[in-house]
Amino acid sequence: MIPLSWYLIFSAALFCIGLYGVLARRNAIAILLGIEVMLNATIINLVAFWRYRNPEPMHGQAFAVMVFAVAAAEVAVGLALIISIYRRRNTVVADDIDIMKW
């Protein structure tokens, strides 16, 4: 059988890849893509733990469903923001959106 460790390592790896994407990409949408990857990694982690630790009650899955909803909401709002910024500033490069500074 697959030990829990495999899933955990897998989700950790996915998380770190997503992190790299968030930190290293120029385009704001690409950053959002990275965030999505990270979110998915966490949901995998959740579900793995649910299955391996306490599979009878469905609490783990319920939690995962909540995370799904949140992720969806976040993507919607994020993309709306990017569209709005794109309309005003005519740019989607994250580095150019730096008004909130000194």
Residues 31-90 binding other proteins (CB under 8 A) are: 31-34, 36-37, 40, 43-44, 47-48, 50-53, 55-59, 61-62, 64-66, 68-77, 79-84, 86-87, 90
CB of 70 to other proteins, least distance (A): 7
Question: Which positions from 4 through 23 interact with other proteins, judged by CB under 8 A?
Answer: 4-10, 12-23
Residue 80 to residues 15, 43, 89: CA-CA distances in angstroms? 24, 24, 14
Helix (H) or strand (E) holding 76: helix 59-89
CB of 89 to other proteins, least distance (A): 9
CB of 50 to other proteins, least distance (A): 8
CB atoms within 10 A of CB 97: 16
Kindly state the number of chain residues that form the binding site for other proteins, as judged by CB under 8 A.
83
The burial of 75, by beta-carbon neighbours within 10 Å (0-12 exposed, 13-18 middle, 19 or more buried), is given as middle
